[in-house]
C-alpha cells in the first residue's frame, strides 16, 4: 500500500468522522431547548397557572388561562374558515392533473405556502382590523386560516391522487353518479390523509405569532367576543419574554411548555392518524 492510498483512506475516515460529529452536534440545540423549556416551564406550571388570568405586574401569581382559551378559539375559527374550502379545492386539483387553471391554482398554493406569515398579518389587518377600527379575534382567525389553506389543499390533493382507480370503477359500475362516488367513496377512504393534513396545519398555526401581532393583538383579560382583541399562547410568550420582569420571563417558559406540548401533541396525533386509519390497498 503506497502513501497515496493511505492518504485517501485517511481522508475517508476523517470525512466520516466529521460528518458524524456535525450530525450529532446538530441535535444539541434540540436537546438544550427541550431541556430548558421543561425545566423552566414545569417549575411554573400549576393549577393556578392554567386557570387564572394574568395579574398586573407587582402582584404575585396569575396565569395564562385567557391565552389558552384564546388559542383554542383561534384554532376553531381558522379551521372553520379554511377546512371546507381547502378540502374542496384539493378535490378539484386531484381530479385534474392537467389543465391551465389547475396549474395556476397549484402555483397559487405554492406561493401562499411560502408567503411570510407577517405579510399575511398585514393583509388581514387591512381587510378586517382597519374597517372595524379594532383588533379582533376574527382578523386573527382569518390570517391563520390563510396559512392553513395551502397545507390542507396539498394534503387533500395528494391523498386523493393515491386512491386507486378501481375504487372509483367499482362505484361507477354500480351506477353511482360520479360526484357521489367522490363524496361517498373516495373521500371517506382517504379520510386519514386529509385529517393528517388538517392536524399538521393546525399544529403549524398554533405556534404562529407574527400574524397575530396586529390582528388578534393580545388581551390581558378573557375575551369571548370575536370582534375584540383576543389573547393567545404565542402572543403571551412574546409579550412576557420581551418584558423586563423576571416573573414574567418565568411565565413565558411556562406558556412555552404548554405550547410545545400542544404543538407536538398535534404532530403526534397527525402521525398516529396517518398510520392507524390508513386504508391499505
Residues 207-266 that bind another protein (CB under 8 A): 207-210, 213-214, 217, 234, 237-238, 241-242, 249, 252-253, 256, 259-260, 263-264
Q: Is 167 in the site for another protein (CB under 8 A)?
A: no
Cell (9 digits) for 4: 497515496
Residue from 15, 221, 224, 277 binding another protein (CB under 8 A)? 15
Taking the least distance from each CB to another protein, the nearer of 66 and 135 is 135
Residue 274 near another protein by CB under 8 A: no
CB 182 to another protein: min, Å: 8
Q: How many other C-beta atoms lie within 10 A of the C-beta of residue 90?
A: 26
Interface mask toward another protein for 121-150; x: CB under 8 A: xxx-xxx------------------x--x-
SS3 26: coil
Alpha-helix residue ranges (DSSP H) falling in the chain: 3-25, 27-44, 47-51, 65-95, 100-114, 117-124, 130-132, 137-161, 165-173, 178-180, 187-189, 191-206, 233-241, 246-276
Rounded to the nearest 5 degrees, what angle is found at the Cα of 239, between the Cα atoms of 125 and 40?
140
The span of 28-36, 42-50, 52-60, 72-80 binding another protein (CB under 8 A) equals 28-36
Site for another protein in 41-80 (CB under 8 A): none
Residues that contact another protein, how many (by CB under 8 A) = 95
Rounded-to-10 torsion of CA 239, 243, 246, 247: -40
Amino acid at each position: 500500500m503506497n502513501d497515496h492510498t493511505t492518504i485517501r483512506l485517511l481522508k475517508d475516515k476523517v470525512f466520516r468522522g466529521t460528518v458524524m460529529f456535525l450530525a450529532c452536534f446538530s441535535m444539541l440545540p434540540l436537546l438544550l431547548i427541550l431541556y430548558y423549556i421543561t425545566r423552566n416551564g414545569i417549575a411554573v406550571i400549576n393549577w393556578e397557572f392554567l386557570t387564572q388570568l394574568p395579574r398586573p405586574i407587582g402582584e404575585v401569581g396569575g396565569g395564562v388561562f385567557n391565552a389558552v382559551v384564546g388559542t383554542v378559539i383561534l384554532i376553531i375559527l381558522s379551521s372553520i374558515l379554511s377546512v371546507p374550502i381547502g378540502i374542496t379545492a384539493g378535490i378539484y386539483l386531484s381530479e385534474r392533473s392537467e389543465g391551465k387553471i389547475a396549474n395556476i391554482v397549484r402555483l397559487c398554493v405554492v406561493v401562499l405556502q411560502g408567503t411570510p406569515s407577517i405579510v399575511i398579518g398585514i393583509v388581514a389587518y387591512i381587510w378586517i382590523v382597519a374597517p372595524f377600527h379594532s383588533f379582533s379575534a376574527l382578523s386573527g382567525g382569518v390570517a391563520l386560516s390563510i396559512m392553513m389553506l395551502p397545507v390542507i389543499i396539498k394534503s387533500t390533493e395528494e391523498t386523493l391522487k393515491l386512491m386507486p382507480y378501481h375504487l372509483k370503477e367499482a362505484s361507477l359500475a354500480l351506477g353511482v353518479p360520479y360526484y357521489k362516488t367522490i363524496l361517498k367513496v373516495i373521500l371517506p377512504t382517504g379520510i386519514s390523509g386529509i385529517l393528517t393534513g388538517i392536524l399538521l396545519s393546525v399544529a403549524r398555526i398554533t405556534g404562529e405569532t407574527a400574524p397575530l401581532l396586529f390582528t388578534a393583538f393580545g388581551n390581558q383579560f378573557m375575551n369571548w367576543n370575536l370582534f375584540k382583541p383576543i389573547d393567545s399562547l404565542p402572543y403571551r410568550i412574546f409579550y412576557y419574554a420581551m418584558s423586563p420582569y423576571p416573573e414574567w420571563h418565568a411565565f413565558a417558559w411556562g406558556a412555552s411548555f404548554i405550547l410545545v406540548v400542544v404543538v407536538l401533541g398535534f404532530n403526534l396525533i397527525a402521525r398516529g392518524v396517518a398510520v392507524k386509519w390508513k386504508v391499505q390497498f
